[in-house]
Amino acid sequence: MSGHGTVQTDGTLIKGRIGKDMDADQGKLAARQVGLAILATLKANLGSLNRVKRVIKVLGMVNCTTDFEKHPFIINGCSELFAKVWGEENGIGVRSAVGMGTLPDNIPVEIEAMFELEEK
């Protein structure tokens, strides 16, 4: 799954830099919103989330100030969502959480993910 941003159900974006425009808890909620956007893309393209066998990898990019140090906490918003959908064993893959100087449209979080799919 290519990088997804903080698209909300009404099509607008959550915007801002973590550590400046929003705090860590707001950033975690933004990451959860990215996870929901990824789930929507999976469902639209696969017809059902049941074809997802497991999460292989999540790369979380955090638009934050240079002194912000809790990148993994932010990306937990998405990781915890995936664990609820597919369970601890299949919903948690390897993960990276890194800080960025900027992200497109000043979104606070961008996430790309890789999934193993069941055969059709």
Whole-angstrom distance, CA of residue 43 vs CA of residue 51: 9
What residue numbers bound the domain in which 78 lies? 24-117
DSSP string, 58-93: EEEEEEB-TT---HHHHHHHHHHHHHHHHHHHHH--
Q: Kindly report, residue by residue over 55-87, the tens digit of the pLDDT.
A: 999 999 999 999 999 999 999 999 999 999 999
Q: Is the pLDDT of residue 120 over 90?
A: no
Task: Over range 37-65, report the average pLDDT.
Answer: 97
Q: Judge whether 14 lies within some domain.
A: no
Beta pairing, strands 52-63 & 94-100: parallel
CATH number at 69 reads 3.30.1330.40
- pLDDT value at position 85? 97
Answer yes or no: is 28 within a domain: yes
The yes-or-no verdict on residue 48 having pLDDT over 90 is: yes
Q: In this predicted structure, what is the pLDDT of residue 36?
A: 97
Q: How many domains does the chain have?
A: 1
Check whether 119 has a pLDDT greater than 90: no
Label residue 60 exposed, middle or buried (CB < 10 Å: 0-12, 13-18, 19+): buried
